Structure 1
Amino acid sequence: MVAPNKRNVRGKTRGVILDKLIEANGGKPLPITIKPSDGKQTGKYCEKLSNEIGLTVRQHAPVRVEKWKQMPRAEINTMLDRIKFFPCLTMKEKFALDLTQEHVKKILEKQLSDRFRNWRCDLHKHFKKFPTVVEAKRNPHESVSNQEDWDYLCDRFSSEEFKEKMLELQRQPIAEGAVAMTEAEIYERVLGQKSGYVKGLGFGPKPISFSKSRPSSSEREIELEHRLVETQLLVETQQQQLETQQDRIDQLEALVQKQNQQHHQQFEEILRHL
């Protein structure tokens, strides 16, 4: 069973969008196919699944776990459930994913680990925006709602051990014709990502290669329909916000009018006594 979200980062809106897509899919979970041979994902909802994985990491991954290989199995299983199910008692499915199949779990966990490293790198970049640790602690990243967790990260990022690891990788000699690692790649190495040599790029994370076939006309029509659903939802949300603002304006106008009437009555009362 999946508990409600700990961090609220567009979670409600995204849940409504998935609900609309499931409704457009005849009330069935969004189908995703993961091939056992190469782990390739196919289907028109792959992008939605990828977004959900990133959201799950930002909202629910433990902040104080530094490397993915240190992630407790219970936490990984919980995140897998959060990807598959809505956070409610009915165990309503978002995606038609069979988590009992080993290759499905393996691919999803690989995506979770990649997103986890990217997220940690984003947290470090945010920390570096501020000139002092004290100021950084006053400005936590939007995905870290617990101040104690953010303080922990700031202390970790500013520790001599962490900085020494970063400097050690920066000092590594660069082979002739190779390109120096970026800060993100260095950070990923500090977090323990496996690296490999790539011709022309030196040592660093191997790029992911993929091919994308041209979608058929029916697939394009379905994708356009889904985009229309999302656009309609966005319009409805903005309309609700406008209506709320208009109600507030009407209330303020009524208050001003009432105050003007009171001032006018007070002025007339003063004139009567002159």
Structure 2
Amino acid sequence: MAIGGKCQRSALTVSSNHLETSQPMQSTLSTTSRAPTVSAETPITSPGLAQSSVASTTPAKRGCGKSRRVIFAKVQGNVRMHAPFGTSTWAKVSNSIKEYIRERVLERSRINTTNRAKLKVHHTGGSRPFVWHRKKLQDPEIGTPTAADLYSKTHHKKNGEGWVSDVARENYEKMVEIQSQSTTESGAPKDIDIFTQVLGTRSDYVRGLGRSMKPIAASSSTMSIQRDSELVRELEAAKATIEELKSRQSEYDNLKNQQVQMQEAQRQIQEQLQLLKAQFAQRDS
């Protein structure tokens, strides 16, 4: 704790050959030019990542804030994913492997930035899930907010200047129109149906409601087909993960062999130098 009650944390910075920390933070974090990293004394046993896997567009803030902890957790997660097996501390990782990990982290950052740029509509809900925002909007008198209310809350600019985009406004108007429609048989459409009709569908979650809400299948046969397809995708993902781990292990073994060869070459050079020194000493005597 610094004088005056202000708390400072170490800033995450990167060098060309290794990752280090500096005190205190002097500039904001940029995923395109500099990579946040951990110090040599930091154990590679951090807690899990934050619940949001989407890269935040908000720059890192000074002081002790949630953004700093989220960034640090994401970086440690990436380091743990690419570090050699059995490594407990950053100091035990060779410089060549550190550089390899650094490039992988930067590549993931570039991919996340590209994916973020492809989004047609950005929300202002932050890293909190949509279910949390929906619960916060609940009123004892009115009850649970409608789909349009939730969409409006998470797609309006925080400074009060209106919608985040014209597409978001058009989506809201479509939701209001669907909500106003009702039939004597089924009543008003459900929120899942509204979000599905306006925003489209995905197999693993409902757009606008997050992964806590699953799309409703039309029949038991459809549910069975979706379940089988999900199992196939999970199996393919597991196979891809295994192949990735094998590839990483192979690369690590190659680097280890190169390191052993370099050490052997250095040992031979040292022996030759000692032999030359002994020969010169005999001549002088």
Larger relative contact order (CA 8 Å, sep ≥ 6): 1
| Both proteins in one fold, TM over 0.5 | no
Q: How high is the TM-score relative to the length of structure 2?
A: 0.29
Q: TM-score, normalised by structure 1?
A: 0.30
Structure number having the greater helix percentage? 1
